[in-house]
Amino acid sequence: MAAGQDANRLGAYLRARRGLVSPEQAGIPPGGTRRVRGLRREEVALLAGISADYYLRLERGRDAHPSTQVLDALARVLRLDEVERLYLHSLATSRPRSRPRRATSLGAVADAQPATSVAIAMLLARGAHDPFCGA
């Protein structure tokens, strides 16, 4: 797998699985010439209830975090069994975040910045005597 493809394993998996589902299996009536094997992107998007643009962004790796509902809808359209569905979810959740998470508590901030822990301790000590802090 090339470096670009390795970075977008979710997109590669979606493309591969899309090619394995025939239009007849998806309930699409036959007709016209098809240039692709399997389902077209637009057909997958329509059957999954998402926009074709959003599906294209998923395949190209430009959307990093599809929801559980979107992944389940794609798994249904692509006729994935339980193991394959779990694998699809793992591909989506194992992608690195584009930005680091913000600290969610004062303790996490204090752990990240030792100098900050001193300031937090001083504020908390002062808060015990401050009528505006509710203590």
Task: Check if the beta carbon of residue 44 is closer than 8 Å to that of residue 77.
Answer: yes
- Tell me phi and psi for residue 47, to 5 degrees: -70, -30
Q: Is the pLDDT of residue 93 over 60?
A: yes
Residue-level pLDDT at 67: 94
**Residues 90/91/93/97 CA torsion (nearest 10 deg):** 150
Q: Is the pLDDT of residue 99 over 60?
A: no
**Spans of all domains in the chain:** 3-93, 101-135
Rg (CA), the chain: 24
Residue-level pLDDT at 59: 94
* CATH architecture of the domain covering 3-93: Orthogonal Bundle (1.10)
Mean pLDDT of the chain: 80
- pLDDT, tens only, 118-134: 666 666 666 655 555 55
Tokens (6 digits) for 21: 């589902």
Choose among 79, 96, 70: nearest CA to 8: 96
Confidence of residue 91 (pLDDT cuts 50, 70, 90): very high
Confidence of residue 65 (pLDDT cuts 50, 70, 90): confident
Q: Is the pLDDT of residue 26 over 70?
A: yes
- pLDDT, tens only, 5-23: 556 899 999 999 999 999 9
Task: Check if the beta carbon of residue 80 is closer than 8 Å to that of residue 72.
Answer: no
With a threshold of 0.75, does the pTM exceed it?
A: no
